[in-house]
Amino acid sequence: MKEEIVARNNVTVVGSGKKTLMLAHGFGCDQQVWQHLIPHLKEHYTLVLFDYVGSGKSQISAFSEPRYRTLEGYARDVNEICQALDLNQVHFVGHSVSSTIGLLASIEHPERFASHLMICPSPCFLDLPPDYYGGFERADLEELLDLMDRNYIGWADYLAPLVMGPESAELLIGELSDSFCSTDPVVAKIFAKATFFADYRHVLPKAAHPAVILQSERDTLAHPRVGRYMHANMPGSTLRVLASEGHCLHMTQPELIAQEIDAWLRY
């Protein structure tokens, strides 16, 4: 069973530190997005990296639409990896939607986890006035998914600079676009719907572990007001608004994110 899970999710373990960090990539990406952060962490921590089913070098044959049409299916991936590797006291480093996935996983199996480090998280990307503004109208997101159907490469090229931030290096934008393109288009659309049309605000009060929210000062996908909302509704949370731009701080500001991780894990 262990070998099957490791192969299914292309699990990689780096380092041998006493504290275990599970690095979970966001929508449309794979574990390669952590390559800029790993050198800053591998000497001090054990790092567990993986690809969600349908992403990167995971086993596409394991993909099931009924399972992965909601984020709970991806949370099952996380818990099954933890079980297969017998992981405990995991510090879950989730980017974007993976912050929600990690929260769902920890609520289901709290004994496996120690804390959450959330990089540019959002529990809901939709504007739901008057109480919540996630950043997008439903019609805008539906148009983005329609572009996926009509021109997948064009969709990736459009979304990558939007996600990274306009001041990001062309190399990093290219890396993210390539990551988008490496994901099966059918799988990507199902994951996109699970990510952008869901509302997981109700799980925030159920958080059973301390969490730090690393919020970018300027982020097209997750406005600082989203970070403030999460902090206000999630017990045991700390909000850190960083003087940075873009949605992928682990790629654009790896040294800063490593410093924040080190500071958090000293508690």
Catalytic residue list contains 149: no
Catalytic residue list contains 223: no
Catalytic residue among 55, 58, 96, 98: 96
> Cα(173)–Cα(77) distance, rounded to whole angstroms?
28
Q: With contact defined as beta carbons under 8 Å apart, do 77 and 71 qualify?
A: no
Q: With contact defined as beta carbons under 8 Å apart, do 47 and 23 qualify?
A: yes
Q: With contact defined as beta carbons under 8 Å apart, do 242 and 214 qualify?
A: yes
Catalytic residue list contains 55: no
Residues 6+ apart with CB under 8 A from 249: 119, 120, 214, 216, 242, 256, 257
Catalytic residue among 25, 98, 219, 231: 219
> Cα(123)–Cα(196) distance, rounded to whole angstroms?
9
Residue that has been written with the tokens 């699970």 in this structure: 194
Angle at the Cα of 179 from the Cα atoms of 173 and 181, rounded to 5 degrees: 105
Task: Provide the b/e sequence for 236-255 (b: ≥16 CB within 10 Å).
Answer: ebebeebebbbbbbbbbbbe
Tell me which residues are annotated as active site.
96, 219, 247
